[in-house]
């Protein structure tokens, strides 16, 4: 799964991020081409979206405004971008013509929140904590500031049959808690080959969101 992203903070109100009721951020998010659109369980295409997110904790609601996207091919990383975009466009138009359906529901993908070097990403994570704390019955068992390290977005995508512009509607999120693996003596476990920390993940209950 390709979940790399680049985030830059646009606005946060009011005051501190823990109390923030609204957060806006620009995001470049990389998402595997959904199997519901390709009919393949492991498609080689993936999409790099340029988006603006608005997180509204009080409603709760997460809005994603897509300004554009680029198609990539995992099996051919050096493929000509224009040719790949053209092939993707032909595929999508054939798909929409055959199925007559430009709306795809229940597309789910995981978004990582764990890059400690990315200040804006940390602020996104902190901004999501009040939403998770208020709407997850299990949230008080964990330190969300340290352990909420990814989230699954559950979305509806609508594809314009002419421009192929994709519109996203966030239907819900599933917060994911990451816990360090430990030895029986309580020592944290690192991967033997990479030396990186080893985690196991716990999915909290899905949080339904308002959507427009």
Q: How far apart are CA 186 and CA 203, in angstroms?
A: 23
> Which is more confident, 6 or 202?
202
- Cβ-in-10-Å burial (0-12, 13-18, 19+) of 112 comes to middle
Sign of CA dihedral 96, 100, 102, 105: negative
- Which range in 89-98, 118-127, 164-173, 185-194 is most confidently predicted, on average pLDDT? 164-173
**pLDDT category of residue 126 using cuts at 50, 70 and 90:** confident
Asked whether 112 and 150 are in contact (CB, 8 A), the reply is yes
Looking at residue 188, what is its pLDDT?
86
Range of the domain at 149: 5-208
Q: Can you count the helices (H) and strands (E) in the chain?
A: 4, 9
> Which is more confident, 18 or 40?
40
Nearest to 88 by CA among 33, 160, 39, 30: 33
**pLDDT category of residue 133 using cuts at 50, 70 and 90:** very high
The count of domains in the chain is 1
Sign of CA dihedral 35, 39, 44, 50: negative
The per-residue pLDDT for range 46-81, each reduced to its tens digit, is: 999 999 999 998 889 999 999 999 999 999 989 999
Calculate mean pLDDT across residues 92-104: 81
Q: How far apart are CA 73 and CA 77, in angstroms?
A: 6
Rg (CA), the chain: 19
Looking at residue 19, what is its pLDDT?
45
Tell me the DSSP string of 180-191.
E-B-TTSPBPB-
Of 47-56, 139-148, 187-196, the least confident: 187-196
**What Å distances lie between residue 126 and 34, 61, 75, 161, CA to CA?**
28, 16, 36, 37
List of residues 6+ apart from 129 with CB closer than 8 A: 18, 144, 145, 148
- Is the confidence at residue 211, as pLDDT, over 80? no
- Is the confidence at residue 13, as pLDDT, over 80? no
Asked whether 121 and 68 are in contact (CB, 8 A), the reply is no
């Amino acid at each position: 799964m390709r979940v790399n992203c680049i985030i830059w903070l646009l606005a946060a109100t009011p005051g501190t991020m823990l109390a923030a009721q609204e957060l806006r951020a620009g995001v470049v998010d990389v998402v595997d081409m959904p199997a519901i659109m390709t009919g393949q369980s492991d498609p080689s295409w993936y999409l790099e979206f340029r988006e603006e997110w608005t997180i509204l904790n009080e409603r709760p609601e997460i809005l994603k405004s897509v300004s554009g996207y680029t198609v990539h091919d995992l099996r051919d990383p050096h493929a000509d971008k224009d040719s790949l975009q053209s092939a993707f466009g032909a595929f999508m138009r054939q798909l929409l013509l055959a199925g007559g359906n430009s709306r795809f529901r229940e597309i789910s993908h995981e978004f990582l929140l764990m890059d400690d070097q990315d200040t804006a990403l940390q602020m996104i994570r902190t901004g999501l904590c009040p939403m998770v704390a208020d709407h997850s019955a299990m949230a008080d068992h964990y330190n969300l500031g340290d352990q909420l390290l990814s989230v699954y977005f559950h979305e509806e995508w609508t594809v314009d049959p002419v421009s192929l512009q994709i519109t996203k509607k966030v239907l819900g999120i599933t917060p994911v808690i990451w816990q360090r693996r430990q030895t029986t003596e309580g020592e944290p476990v690192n991967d033997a080959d990479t030396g990186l920390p080893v985690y196991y993940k716990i999915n909290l209950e899905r949080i339904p969101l308002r959507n427009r």
